[in-house]
Chain A
Amino acid sequence: MRFTSLKQLSDLCEQEGATIGRMMVVEQARETGQSEERIVAQMASYYEVMKEAVRKGLHDDTRSRSGLTGGDAKRVRESALSGVRPPSLGGEASAALAYALAVSEVNASMGRVIATPTAGSCGIIPGVFVSSQERFVWDDETLVQGLFAAGAIGYVIANNSFVSGAEGGCQAEVGSAIGMAAGALTEMRGGTPEQAMHAVGLALKNSLGLICDPVGGLVEIPCIVRNGFGAVTALAAADMALAGVRSAIPSDEVIGVMLEVGSAMPEKHRETAKGGLAQTPTGRKIMKELYGKEGKS
């Protein structure tokens, strides 16, 4: 790849008059020696899996293997559509929320998803993408290019910081996905590469410090709702960037902060279920029920 930072990526796009998505397709072809056609076809097949996961999560039974979670996407969607109490978010953001919950619930029930960048954060990009496609009546090609843009942003974050909760906490996992979705949405809505970069920085700042503290160590509580929140945050970050709001701290420096904070994060707050929500009285009680009398050692 010819870029290792968001600044380089954005400069490269400006120089060559390319979108971030297009740049990623070209670089991927160069890196792997595969044809652009094949690469785009693979991404298109991933987008199909995402749409299917949204559909499944809204219509099928998504009770998780542990029995702890499931059905919340339906609750949110049905409540919004019932007209009894219109969602405070408005219909569109509420759809993004419900779709993100849906995919995350499919994941917890051992269904098929695309890791974006991980399974723990797999709801955010489909939530933002599928709801935006419906709203703005985009063809699939736009969304597939958007996934390449999201991938380019994630590539920079992953190589300069981390994308797994075990390494850097939830800021690395859900946080990265929000940044990727925000940047990609900014581009799909006609923003410049530079605006997309600002969207990433704006979004990442909002999740810095977020710990990974899943109850019972499972990708359920609080992961699923954080995917829902994440989708809404990505919409907000893209709106700010498109309006001309800039990330005063450059986005690459924000990624550096994520690395610093994640490296300093105690082990108990990095997916081990030894701290945070997992060790609340209720979290411990749930763990006891899951793993028997000893609790999780």
Chain B
Amino acid sequence: MRFKDVFSIIGPSMIGPSSSHTAGAVRLGRTARQALGTAPFEADIHLYGSFADTYRGHGTDLALVAGLLDFDTDDARIRNALVVATEAGVTVRFHPERPPVAHPNTATIALRRGEEGIRVTGRSIGGGNIEIVGIDRFDVKFTANYPTLLVFHGDRAGMIAEVTDVLMRAQVNISHMEVDRESRNGEALTVIECDQPIPSAELNRIGRLPNVSKVRVINLSETSSYADTEASPGGVDRQP
């Protein structure tokens, strides 16, 4: 089922004018920001299909940047997002792209802050709903409708069992899960959609597991507030 509940049909509450080009775009931007784990300094946003053709008129540019600032879809500041971003020292570049894509409303968002970087590809499928289809070089698929755990780790036996064991102990139920790896024994990404928010103690525990390089949480249901430089509470980095 692409649409899982009543509020993916009635809702979201949003600033117009387009649920796919504005509300969906906010959620794509917000997902990318949370995947980075912190506010970005630099963003390169590649737009495909109808996003590339009509982004200015729909305020897609404002919406994507509002998401990078962690605004929610009905935040009245969306219309001033480009100004707010500039004031916060975020450099944003838009790249309308030509090649045809599988879905008309697709964006690839590359974010950087110092050594940290992430590239998120997603599409807006209507009514403010999104599908993330790629993170860095990994092909994964999730909706960001649920608290979603991104675990970046080395590909080795037992890794997933150890992560899910931590979740089980915290009574966090997994609704959907995906794993993709670069190569055997190479880098891998496990995406876990959960029914409950993941407590920070469990995040820290997962972050400390052997071979886990970083952990991020996507949670778009939590009302955002603008924090310009603070790392999201959900992110855990393995210190080298």
A-side contacts of B14, CB under 8 Å = 112-115, 119
Task: Check if B16 sits within 8 Å of A113, measured CB to CB.
Answer: yes
Query: Do the beta carbons of B17 and A218 come within 8 Å of each other?
Result: yes
Number of A residues with CB within 8 Å of any CB on chain B:
66
Does the CB pair A218–B5 fall under 8 Å?
no
Task: Please report the C-alpha to C-alpha distance between residue A167 and residue B126 in the assembled complex, in whole angstroms.
Answer: 8
User: Known interface pairs A65-B59, A112-B14, A114-B14. Does A167 touch B125 (Cβ–Cβ under 8 Å)?
Assistant: yes
A162 proximity list for chain B (CB < 8 A): 126
Grouping DSSP codes into helix (H, G, I), strand (E, B) and loop, the B interface class, with mixed when no group exceeds half, is: mixed
The interface-forming segment of A81-89, A93-101, A147-155, A197-205 is: A147-155
Q: How far is the CB of A149 from chain B (nearest CB, A)?
A: 10
Mark out the residues of chain A between 278 and 297 whose CB falls within 8 Å of any chain B CB in the assembled complex.
290-291, 296-297
Chain A contacts of B16 at CB under 8 A?
A: 106-113, 119, 122, 219
Complex formed: what's the CA distance from A272 to B105 in Å? 10
Partner of B104, one of A116, A117, A173, A270: A270
Is B127 a contact of A117 with CB atoms below 8 Å? yes
- From B29-37, B49-57, B210-218, the one touching the partner chain is B49-57
B contact residues vs A (CB 8 Å cutoff): 1-20, 22-23, 49-50, 53-54, 56-59, 74, 76, 78-79, 96, 104-105, 125-128, 195
Q: Can you pick out 23 interface pairs between chain A and chain B where the beta carbons lie within 8 Å of each other?
A: A110-B17, A110-B59, A111-B16, A112-B76, A115-B19, A118-B18, A119-B22, A150-B9, A152-B6, A155-B3, A159-B2, A159-B3, A162-B126, A163-B3, A163-B126, A163-B127, A164-B19, A164-B20, A217-B53, A217-B58, A272-B49, A272-B50, A296-B54
Interface residues of A (CB under 8 A from B): 1, 4, 24, 27-28, 31-33, 39, 42-43, 45-46, 49, 64-66, 106-120, 122, 125, 147-148, 150-152, 154-155, 158-159, 162-164, 166-167, 172-173, 180, 216-220, 267, 270-274, 290-291, 296-297
